[in-house]
Structure 1
Amino acid sequence: MPRYCAIAGGERFAFDSLARLLAAATPERSGDQLAGIAAQSATERVAARRALADLPLAEFLTEAVVPYEADEVTRLILDSHDRAAFAPFAAMTVGDFRDWLLSPAAHAKRLAAAAPGLTPEMVAAVSKIMRNQDLIRVARKVEVVTAFRNTIGKAGTLSTRLQPNHPADDVCGIAVSTLDGLLFGAGDAVIGINPASDNLANCAGLLAALDEMVTALAIPTQTCVLTHVTNALRLIEGGAPVDLIFQSVAGTEAANEGFGVSLSILAEAHAAGRSLGRGTVGDNLMYFETGQGAALSAEAHHGVDQQTLEARAYGVARAFRPLLVNTVVGFIGPEYLFDGKQIIRAGLEDHFCGKLLGLPMGVDVCYTNHVEADQDDMDVLMTLLTRAGVTFLITVPGADDVMLGYQSLAFEDIGYLREVTGLRPAPEFEMWLARTGLAQGAAALPDPEALGRRMGIVA
């Protein structure tokens, strides 16, 4: 007999599992339709949301959407659950929890205390019955601060990843893009390269070049070459200057196996990175990327909707105290997020869920050229996320990543966002911008050619 039922439009709807209920309650998106688990009508979606609003939060501790015995992510989520932190919410329904989140009682200190008691499925569930403005109102109340060579996530700040990718991994081309980003005040979250080649020698060379730039200019930031975590282990063993350890993660064990990772491998890499002691103001050094649809694209979704699985990926991330986490929200393609409306909603959901779980949440506000979206949609999303208190955003030269072949945000966009909101870079990075003259803009730079010579890009 179905466990979850509700009436909408004079029709009774029944849902035979928690996973089915969550999927039916999810705002419309192409990935769930592709998987065959989406609501069949708007009326069914309303019924599912009614049933979900009446569901006790404690139900998520008794019914796993992916079986406990078959999935190490489920085991991590349930075994690490903090029942003392959950106690204030144990008698609440999902609807009660939404009302509490939107109330003045849910201030930053209480939200931080609640995070260990919330499971990814709980926060995914409450997001499904919230409007976009609700997701923004709650997320902006959450403050998550992390640190490595600077301090990320403090109230009143907006950080950026400077992404100077090059289709041939040319060091001079990367250096030019890096200087371009620095002139616009980008790069306080990380200067991070997606390498065109995962060859270890190539990655080691890129790390050395980035380290030399940061050292020569005394920039208080961290660097990363976004190679596979097992490559990072080998690079550490070889003496490469590794700051942050990167890995894409997903919300099921099978999907992570598709990425070639497990919780034990991530733990090994985390320990290896900490052993280097390269942080100066903190030791948060993991950098995770996620994205709705990752598990579905790997055929590892277990019949669970892509947004709930995305939240479960954050359950993986928070186990390793990361410096940075970001969802690459529009990167996978229209099979998972069809158009600008779906991308905007997904970006707000991902940010809300990550922050509520206690993560330093960023977003790659992006799309591919075969999606029904454009840069105006990205302008809307980046502005909404900034108002929602996003920790960092990704920026690339000219909003066009010529190596990965997708559209993101430009360095100029961070200037717009900081101008209209009054937000500032990470404090240590802001002081460096002031010392170099960059805080006043590129025109105030005393000697740009000298900077270029120090970075090896001007003869």
Structure 2
Amino acid sequence: MIRRHSVAGTSYAFDGLVEVMARATPLRSGDQLAGCAAGSDAERAAAQWVLADLPLTTFLDEQVVPAEDDEITRLILETHDAEAFAAIGHLTVGGLRDHLLEVAARPGSAATYAALAPGLTPEMVAAVSKIMRNQDLVLVAGAAEVRAGFRTTIGLPGRIATRLQPNHPTDDPAGIAAATLDGLLMGCGDAVIGINPATDSPRTTATLLHLLDDMRQRHEIPMQSCVLSHVTTTVDLVEAGAPVDLVFQSVAGTQGANRGFGVDVAMLREAGEATRSLGRGTVGDNVFYLETGQGSALSADAHLGTGGKPVDQQTLETRAYGLARVLEPLLINTVVGFIGPEYLYDGKQIIRAGLEDHFCGKLLGLPMGVDVCYTNHAEADSDDMDVLLTLLGVAGAAFVIAVPGADDVMLGYQSLSFHDALYVRQALGLRPAPEFEAWLAGLGMADEDGRVLAVDLGSSPLLGIASAGGAP
């Protein structure tokens, strides 16, 4: 269906939902690369007017990726809750924006958003985000609340957790243990201690899993660990009796892109069942750690939708959340600036994308985190990351990622430092996850307000972590 709108005397036509969504998206380099971005600010404004006037039922009648070609589309449609949707089914996209902002101003907004989430499709949420200002994205996300748990509770209001990421270019246990000690002493690791292995070797993965689990038991740390190997590697180790807490996988918003990751929906569900059967959680049984990123489908050449037209990268990213919520993860984060400037060119685009991803994931019912990051060839710097981190803290992000010195020496990109986590907690009055905070306080490492205290490294009970690769 052709949809039209005029701006400043010029009429713009949009051929179908895919094109309207793409043209309405705030400017980003990935959409320009795919050839689906608006050609001007005027065309973008016209597309946003058209999008705002679309009934929400449009997204049930038209698919951006055909269901007959894509299992993610089928999953989205099969899991849509018609009863939850009935409360907003009469609205347009613009009406949904107004409704979300109105709910944010009411008492009990978190419960209202939670009841609404099953009735929203990812495409509806992506659409409404495209006509919202940054402050709208922050306000609504900050009023929503999504909790998950394993050994710590993620997503509680007034708290922000951290993934401690002690990567090492050769997977050296001693180097990983030293980085882990550094992070623990600064109050990081309450979301997960998660290692990106340099290789997908089952032997290396098992070694690192035992390292982290020995550390956890020796120091009675309420934490979960994860080695971010491919899901099949982790499931094999589950069957071999390795101490697996969380199963990790990168996921995307199309069947083709997930095929590029070597996964499908059935495989992921089976992995969740296998890991959950271990019963290793104490406060919950959410066992998935998932990562996503705008541009992943485009980079896999799996981004085409209805009519063979390119779907914008933010809509495809949000579709990944439709898969993720079926898996009920403990953690999910967008690695927002990791793929590079070909997809998000500069700090402005990274900040906007990070707020969009966080808003969309949280509104769909996910304990959403963000890797606040950029590559060294992007037009971005640490000042941009400070802005995004602060906005995410206000918006109630479940967790962020932190690495030694903000520089991941294995993956070769810039993320947040352990000090950045201390900054956002102090500046906004946020605290660690409660179970982890109690552990810090018990060691004299945190005060009654959850603020991390300086400790004498020489007398710290954690000193043994760095010796002999963390072995007891």
Whether TM-score is above 0.5 comes out as yes
- Following the alignment from structure 1 to structure 2, what is the Cα–Cα distance between the partners of residues 260 and 358? 26
Equivalent residue for 2:177? 175
Kept in 2, the 8 Å contact 1:436–1:445? The answer is: no
Q: Structure 1 stretch 49-58 or stretch 10-19: which is displaced more?
A: 10-19
Q: How does 1:98-109 map to 2 (within 5 A)?
A: 98-103=97-102, 104-105=105-106, 107-109=109-111
Residue 150 of structure 1: how far off its partner (Å) = 1.1
- Following the alignment from structure 1 to structure 2, what is the Cα–Cα distance between the partners of residues 10 and 289? 44
AA matched with 2:27: E
- Following the alignment from structure 2 to structure 1, what is the Cα–Cα distance between the partners of residues 242 and 446? 32
- Following the alignment from structure 2 to structure 1, what is the Cα–Cα distance between the partners of residues 459 and 57? 59
- Pick aligned residue for 2:375 from 363, 368, 375: 368
- Following the alignment from structure 1 to structure 2, what is the Cα–Cα distance between the partners of residues 319 and 114? 16
Residue 336 of structure 1: how far off its partner (Å) = 0.3
Q: Structure 1 stretch 96-105 or stretch 67-76: which is displaced more?
A: 96-105
Identity over aligned pairs, percent:
64
Residue 455 of structure 1: how far off its partner (Å) = 5.2
Match of 2:26, SS state, is coil
- Following the alignment from structure 1 to structure 2, what is the Cα–Cα distance between the partners of residues 141 and 330? 25
Residue 452 of structure 1: how far off its partner (Å) = 1.8
Kept in 1, the 8 Å contact 2:177–2:465? The answer is: no
Equivalent residue for 1:443? 454
Kept in 2, the 8 Å contact 1:437–1:445? The answer is: no
TM-score using structure 2 length = 0.95
What do the CA deviations read for 1:260-310 (whole angstroms, capped 9, x no partner)? 000010011000001100001100010100000000000000110000000
What do the CA deviations read for 1:339-386 (whole angstroms, capped 9, x no partner)? 000000000000000000000000000000000000000001100111
TM-score using structure 1 length = 0.98
- Following the alignment from structure 2 to structure 1, what is the Cα–Cα distance between the partners of residues 244 and 398? 23
- How many pairs are equivalent? 458
AA matched with 2:117: A
- Following the alignment from structure 2 to structure 1, what is the Cα–Cα distance between the partners of residues 72 and 101? 29
Residue 438 of structure 1: how far off its partner (Å) = 1.4
- Pick aligned residue for 1:156 from 155, 158, 169: 158
AA matched with 1:74: T
Residue 456 of structure 1: how far off its partner (Å) = 3.1
Match of 2:86, SS state, is helix
AA matched with 1:256: N
Kept in 2, the 8 Å contact 1:449–1:458? The answer is: no
AA matched with 2:49: R
The question of 1:453 aligning with 2:464 is answered: yes
- Following the alignment from structure 1 to structure 2, what is the Cα–Cα distance between the partners of residues 8 and 28? 18
Q: Structure 1 stretch 103-112 or stretch 357-366: which is displaced more?
A: 103-112
Match of 2:400, SS state, is strand
AA matched with 2:400: L
Residue 444 of structure 1: how far off its partner (Å) = 3.3
Q: Where does structure 1 lack aligned partners over 5 or more consecutive residues?
A: none
What do the CA deviations read for 1:14-66 (whole angstroms, capped 9, x no partner)? 11110110000000000000000000111100000000000000100010000
Equivalent residue for 1:288? 290
Equivalent residue for 1:26? 25
Equivalent residue for 2:262? 260
| CA-atom RMSD in angstroms | 1.3
Equivalent residue for 2:117? 115
Kept in 1, the 8 Å contact 2:176–2:469? The answer is: no
The question of 1:311 aligning with 2:293 is answered: no
What do the CA deviations read for 1:229-280 (whole angstroms, capped 9, x no partner)? 0101111111110000000000000000000000010011000001100001
Kept in 2, the 8 Å contact 1:216–1:455? The answer is: no
Residue 197 of structure 1: how far off its partner (Å) = 1.4
Match of 2:87, SS state, is helix
Match of 1:319, SS state, is helix
Equivalent residue for 1:425? 432
Match of 1:434, SS state, is helix
The question of 1:141 aligning with 2:131 is answered: no
Match of 2:369, SS state, is strand
Equivalent residue for 2:307? none
AA matched with 2:363: L
Equivalent residue for 2:134? 132
Equivalent residue for 1:46? 45
